[in-house]
Amino acid sequence: MNHQPPVKEMADWGPKVIDLLDRLGVPFNRTQEGHLDRRRFGGTLYKRTAFAGATTGQQLLYALDEQVRRWEAEGLVRKFEFWEFLGTITDDQGVCRGAVVQDMFSMEIRALPGDAVVMATGGCGLIFGKSTMSMICTGGANSRVYQEGAKYGNGEFLQVHPTAVPGADKLRLMSESARGEGGRVWVPRTPHDSRDPKSIPESERYYFLEERYPTYGNLVPRDIATREIFDVCVKQGLSVETERLCVYLDLTHLPATTHKKLDGILNIYQKFQGVNPRQVPMKIFPAIHYSMGGIWVDYTKDETTGGLEHGAPNNHMTNIPGLYAIGEAEYHYHGANRLGANSLLSTIFEGLITGPSIVNYINSLKSSAADAPTALFDGAVRKHKDAMDDLVGRTGNENAYRLHDELGRTMTENVTVVRYNDKIKETLTKIDEIAERFKRAPLADNGQWTNQNLSFTRALGDMIVLAKVIALGALQRDESRGAHYKPDFQIDGLDPDSGEDLTEQARRWCKQFQANNDKWLKSTIAEHTPEGPKLTYEDVDLSLLSPRPRTYGLKGAEEIMRVWNSEFAKKPVETKKPVAVSA
């Protein structure tokens, strides 16, 4: 699902990014010899991930924040903290000339002129009600630029992390590092067994990931682990509890030295659950975690290296000139299912690769935002002030928080782990209903100082728009790929007991796989219209590696791969600039 040149470039930069972070002071774990330590993450058989205990992302934030403060002290960075992005400012030629923002203390709305605007605004977890993302990850900012004309790519691909802890306010991630250090996922073979889990004998425990995927065990890719947990709890009825769905994530067998490595997440679990996970297995269940889809961005391929052309002005530029997107806000690097730790790598890499591109873009401009008429900026501010006044003056009998709860429940139930077209159609109907009712949802607080109710209600309107992009993309994509799983369109494995020649079965499977790729190995591109999302499909650049079957746990996998490699595998085909085709 990825254009290959950007991904190759990111992979090539991986070691350099780790070295840079090491020099910036990130306290990576080290071996006894002083070398950087590594651990396994999902979907790998080798230790490939540098880490800092169980809070690697947090440690990276500390180090990078320190650098921002350094440049701020030198007068090169000015921060606008607690200001909310409302929209871009574009001139008559459609070129981005700045942004409109609002001070969430004083509620002042103002324009920030700029020759480039970068969206580094994260994912859209709150569309699903609760997620492991920050509580500010509404997707509102991304939705706003989408509504202003920016394309949105692969919206239907969202990662559901297999191990999270339910909470009243949000879902708290229990990092993959727990399984990378030897944590084991299991349920009692007796449904809803009320015994102390430590007293349940090994013979009465079902280590379902280890049994079904003996090569990868508890470190199968996240989409597979999530579906297996869902299957064990929902279809097999083996949830640990009767009132809620959950399985055990067990670290009690690990030594104290390993527990020390994992203190970051173990302390979080103990704080919010009141149970020491070093002594009692954790209870976990999958949760929305990451948006693989996001704002569409461009790139220029380096024909010599196969990666990106460094400094090309359009690297990470959206289809709106001067508007860039990086990190989880964009769609480039993680296809249908992100691998563990790659979000940190991609985000930092994208910042490093995009900075020089922005400089070159600005240097190529014939005029700057400073030359634009003040009427351009005043008009943009006026538009958003009028929108805020309309929201403040709204009347009706609906409640924005209840509408958000309904949106989250229908999206979680029908557009996450397992997807069926009839349920997605029901969801789209529900989204339309919520959109109409939203027009009758007034503010509970009309205050002109730090009005969080205003910010949330405004974001809800944007979430509804983006929810339709996600659901419609999921409905139209009739296949199973990564985190997008439709049982009605799954290609089943081989049946050794059918009496049919296994090679012939494998050959038929490969033909189905190839036909599916011919039709669906494309990126979904959504464009905003007053009637709703307009979807087209963009060819993927496969010029470096040819696609091959993904056979984790598939019956007959060895025979499938033998037949694929001998009869179907192709050399990479040089692909020109990807083109969009209508659905």
Question: What digits encode the pLDDT tens for the residues 382-414?
Answer: 999 999 999 999 999 999 999 999 999 999 999
Cα 177 from Cα 37, distance rounded (Å)? 13
* CATH code, 187: 3.90.700.10
Mean pLDDT is lowest, of 295-299, 303-307, 432-436, 550-554, for 550-554
Q: 152 lies in which domain range?
A: 4-24+60-75+122-156+292-364
Q: Which two tokens stand for residue 306?
A: 């196969």
pLDDT at residue 581, rounded to an integer: 47
Q: Same domain, yes or no, for 209 and 348?
A: no
How does DSSP assign 41-108, residue by residue?
Answer: -TT-SS--EE-STT-HHHHHHHHHHHHHHHHHHTTS----TTEEEEEEEE-TTS-EEEEEEEETTT--
Question: Which of 288, 308, 331 is the endpoint of a domain?
Answer: 288
Number of independent structural domains in the chain: 3
Q: Same domain, yes or no, for 512 and 543?
A: yes
pLDDT for residue 197 is more than 60:
yes
Residue 420: CA atoms inside 13 Å, Cβ hemisphere, count? 5
| Model confidence band, residue 517 (pLDDT cutoffs 50, 70, 90) | very high
pLDDT for residue 573 is more than 70:
no
Cα 111 from Cα 91, distance rounded (Å)? 13
| Residue 310 belongs to some domain of the structure | yes
Q: Same domain, yes or no, for 234 and 147?
A: no
Give me the residue label for tokens 């249908």: 336
Give me the residue label for tokens 């199973």: 480
Q: Same domain, yes or no, for 355 and 249?
A: no
| Residue 391 belongs to some domain of the structure | no
| Model confidence band, residue 570 (pLDDT cutoffs 50, 70, 90) | confident
3-state secondary structure 387-436: HHHHHHCCCCCCCHHHHHHHHHHHHHHHCCCCCCHHHHHHHHHHHHHHHH
The set of residues, in sequence order, having a beta carbon less than 8 Å from that of 353 and lying 6+ positions away, is 9, 13, 308, 310, 315, 316
| Residue 175 belongs to some domain of the structure | yes
Give me the residue label for tokens 């350094």: 70
Mean pLDDT is lowest, of 46-55, 319-328, 329-338, 567-576, for 567-576
Contact 188, 198 (CB under 8 A): no
| Residue 545 belongs to some domain of the structure | yes
Q: What angle do CA 553, 232, 419 make, to 5 degrees?
A: 80
**Mean pLDDT (whole number) for 513-530:** 97
Contact 418, 487 (CB under 8 A): yes
Q: Same domain, yes or no, for 305 and 320?
A: yes
Q: Same domain, yes or no, for 280 and 296?
A: no
Question: Which of 245, 271, 288 is the endpoint of a domain?
Answer: 288
**Mean pLDDT (whole number) for 331-339:** 94
Tens digit of each residue's pLDDT (9 = 90 or more) over 350-388: 999 999 999 999 999 999 999 999 999 999 999 999 999
pLDDT at residue 574, rounded to an integer: 56
How would you label 153-172 residue by residue, b for 16+ Cβ within 10 Å and e otherwise?
A: bbbbbbbbbbbbbbeeebbb
| Model confidence band, residue 583 (pLDDT cutoffs 50, 70, 90) | very low
| Model confidence band, residue 1 (pLDDT cutoffs 50, 70, 90) | confident
| Residue 400 belongs to some domain of the structure | no
Residue 130: CA atoms inside 13 Å, Cβ hemisphere, count? 15
**Mean pLDDT (whole number) for 277-302:** 97
- Rounded to 10 deg, the angle between the 342-364 and 4-23 helix axes is 100
Cα 149 from Cα 161, distance rounded (Å)? 31
Specify the pairing of strand 117-119 against strand 323-325. parallel
What are residue 24's DSSP bridge partners? Answer: none
DSSP class of residue 438 equals H
Is residue 222 among the annotated active site residues? yes
| Residue 491 belongs to some domain of the structure | no
**Mean pLDDT (whole number) for 327-335:** 96
Tens digit of each residue's pLDDT (9 = 90 or more) over 3-21: 999 999 999 999 999 999 9
Contact 182, 258 (CB under 8 A): yes
Q: Same domain, yes or no, for 568 and 508?
A: yes
Cα 400 from Cα 432, distance rounded (Å)? 15
pTM of the model: 0.95
pLDDT for residue 324 is more than 80:
yes
Q: Is 479 helix (H, G, I), strand (E, B) or coil?
A: coil
| Residue 311 belongs to some domain of the structure | yes
Cα 397 from Cα 406, distance rounded (Å)? 16
| Residue 86 belongs to some domain of the structure | no
pLDDT at residue 131, rounded to an integer: 95
pLDDT at residue 169, rounded to an integer: 87
Catalytic residue among 172, 184, 222, 481: 222
Contact 571, 544 (CB under 8 A): no
What are residue 172's DSSP bridge partners? Answer: 165
Contact 41, 176 (CB under 8 A): yes
**Mean pLDDT (whole number) for 292-298:** 98
Q: Same domain, yes or no, for 237 and 346?
A: no
Question: Which of 364, 394, 426 is the endpoint of a domain?
Answer: 364
Cα 249 from Cα 186, distance rounded (Å)? 7
Q: Same domain, yes or no, for 149 and 296?
A: yes
Residue 159: CA atoms inside 13 Å, Cβ hemisphere, count? 30
Q: Same domain, yes or no, for 187 and 148?
A: no
Residue type, 427: T
Q: Same domain, yes or no, for 152 and 15?
A: yes
Q: Same domain, yes or no, for 15 and 137?
A: yes
| Cα Rg of the chain (Å, integer) | 25
pLDDT at residue 451, rounded to an integer: 95
| Model confidence band, residue 340 (pLDDT cutoffs 50, 70, 90) | confident
pLDDT for residue 471 is more than 60:
yes
